[in-house]
Each structure stands twice: as structure tokens, then as C-alpha cells.
């Protein structure tokens, strides 16, 4: 299911420790290619893909229409540093981000806020992965 991904994005999705039934949060989803690939791998799970850009969310809504209709994927226009779960929304098992400045060190203040918000959206054992490793690295969320 990673055939429509670039080799780099395919390697990132392949490296995620995904399991059937997981709830996965993608931060900075862009047009939704990775979110679709993750949704295909987690069976009865769910992907919430967020992006601060209205244009990206619009592109993802079109590209992910089948997954959205099936209830396997949802989209939200929000910056990571402003993310809050909706009332009654279950927490996520895993989060990942690719080329997100708030998490890769380009915007340290936003990164501090984003990590707190992401930690609050994850289960107590939830993990956050970002690009920049081989191909991923895990960011610690809790001290």
C-alpha cells in the first residue's frame, strides 16, 4: 500500500511500529499520502491526520475520501502546538511527523508546546516518531 509514496516516505511508514487496531496521530499530514498508507496497515484502527494548512487538509480530504468514508481516517486543521482532543475522543497509541518544524528543532518554543499537546493526546505508553533518524527517531515526551 506504499506504492504511491516516495521512497523516503515509504521507508518512514515501513519503520513505524504499527499494529492492527492502533489509533495513530499524524502531525503535519500534507496531502495525506502517509495517513492513507498507515490506515491501510492498521486494519480496524484509526488515523487522525492534522495539519495547520487549510490547503493541505483540503488536498488530504480529496485524496483520503475512501478512508474517511470507511471511518478509518479523520482530518483536522490544527497546529500541533494547539492540538486538543475532542470531548470523548480516545487517546492515540502512536504519533508521527515528517518535516514538522515544531518537532525537528527549527522552532524550539513551538516544539515545547507541541510535545506537551501530543503527550496529552497519547495513551500513557504512546510514542512519538519523527523523521531524521534512519529513517525515524523517537522523541521523548515525558521527563
Please state, for a pLDDT cut of 90, what percent of the chain lies above it. Answer: 88
- Domains along the chain with CATH numbers: 7-139 (3.40.50.150)
Model pLDDT for residues 60-78, shown as the tens digit of each residue: 999 999 999 999 999 999 9
Q: Is the pLDDT of residue 16 over 90?
A: yes
Model pLDDT for residues 80-125, shown as the tens digit of each residue: 999 999 999 999 999 999 999 999 889 999 999 999 999 999 999 9
The Cα 73–Cα 66 span in angstroms is 9
Residue 34 burial (C-beta neighbours within 10 Å; 0-12, 13-18, 19+): buried
The Cα 87–Cα 72 span in angstroms is 19
Amino acid at each position: 500500500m506504499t506504492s504511491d509514496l516516495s521512497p523516503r516516505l515509504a521507508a518512514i511508514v515501513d519503520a513505524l511500529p504499527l499494529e492492527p487496531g492502533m489509533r495513530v496521530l499524524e502531525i503535519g499530514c500534507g496531502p495525506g499520502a502517509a495517513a492513507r498508507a498507515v490506515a491501510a496497515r492498521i486494519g480496524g484502527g484509526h488515523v487522525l491526520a492534522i495539519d495547520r494548512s487549510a490547503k493541505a487538509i483540503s488536498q488530504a480530504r480529496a485524496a483520503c475520501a475512501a478512508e474517511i468514508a470507511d471511518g478509518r481516517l479523520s482530518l483536522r486543521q490544527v497546529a500541533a502546538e494547539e492540538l486538543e482532543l475532542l470531548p470523548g475522543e480516545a487517546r492515540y497509541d502512536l504519533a508521527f511527523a515528517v518535516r514538522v518544524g515544531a518537532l525537528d528543532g527549527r522552532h524550539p518554543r513551538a516544539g515545547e508546546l507541541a510535545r506537551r499537546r501530543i503527550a496529552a493526546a497519547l495513551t500513557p505508553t504512546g510514542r512519538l516518531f519523527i523523521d531524521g533518524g534512519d529513517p525515524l527517531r523517537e522523541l521523548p515526551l515525558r521527563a
